[in-house]
Chain A
C-alpha cells in the first residue's frame, strides 16, 4: 500500500486518497465549438504511459484537496 504525500497533511495511507487520472486535461473553453472527435478526445481518451506520468490525486478522507503529482507507473514511486 502506497504512502502518499498530501501537500498539506503530509504522508498518509493510500486508502485516504482517490485517484483522479491524468493531470492537465482541461475542460474545453467552448465545448460547443468542438467536433465530435475533439470532444470525444476530451471525454474518453487518456494517456497510459509506462513510466513517469503526471496525474491527479485527491486527499478524499483528509483535507479533500486535489493536487497534481508525477508518479512512475512501473514502480509507483512519486517523483514530485
Chain B
C-alpha cells in the first residue's frame, strides 16, 4: 500500500456524477510578459495563454487562463513533477475536484454564460458561477464535453445540484 491509497476525493462515494479525481493543479501568478513568464513557458513546453478564458495544451498538461497574471496548470493524476517545478507556483491540486458534464442543456439550468457553440467551444475556459457556487468551466471537446473545476467543499453541493438538474 502506498500513501496515495490513503487519498480520498470529495466525490469518492457520490454516485451519478463523473468525477475526475486527483488531477494535479498548480496556480501560477506572474506578470504576463517578462522573464518569469518566459521561463515558465519554456519549462512547461507551452506558452502561458494571453487570450482571456482560453486554454493551451502543453504536452500532457493544460494551461488555463484565469486572469491577466494568473493561470492554472492542470496535469494528470500522479504528475509528481508539476507541484515543485515552478518556483512561483502554488500547489492547489486538492483545492478543487473535477466533474465532467456532457450536456450543455444541463449547465443552462444554472449557468449564466452563453454556452452556444458560437460563443463557447472546446479550448475555452471561464471562471463563473453554476447554481450558487463558483467554478472553473472548461470545455474540452465540441461534443460537447465540459469540465467543472469546483472547490472541494462545494463539490457535494454541485453534485447534488447536477443530479437534481438531470431529473428535469
Direct touch of chains A and B (CB < 8 A): yes
A interface, CB within 8 angstroms of B? 8-10, 12-13, 15-16, 61-65
A8 close to B134 (CB less than 8 A) = no
Q: How far, in angstroms, from A9 to B67 measured CA to CA in the complex?
A: 8
Extra inter-chain contacts (10) besides given A9-B126, A15-B129, CB under 8 Å: A8-B67, A12-B112, A12-B128, A13-B112, A16-B112, A61-B127, A61-B128, A63-B52, A65-B67, A65-B68
B70 close to A63 (CB less than 8 A) = yes
Q: Which residue of B lies closest to A62 (CB)?
A: B127
At the interface, yes or no: B53 with Cβ under 8 Å from chain A? yes
A10 close to B129 (CB less than 8 A) = no
Residues of chain A within 8 A (CB-CB) of B70 are 63-64
Q: How far, in angstroms, from A71 to B138 measured CA to CA in the complex?
A: 32
Closest 9 CB pairs of A and B: A63-B67, A13-B112, A8-B52, A62-B127, A61-B129, A61-B134, A9-B52, A8-B68, A65-B67
Q: How far, in angstroms, from A12 to B112 measured CA to CA in the complex?
A: 8
Q: How far, in angstroms, from A13 to B113 measured CA to CA in the complex?
A: 8
A10 to chain B, nearest CB (A): 7
Residues of chain B within 8 A (CB-CB) of A61 are 127-129, 134
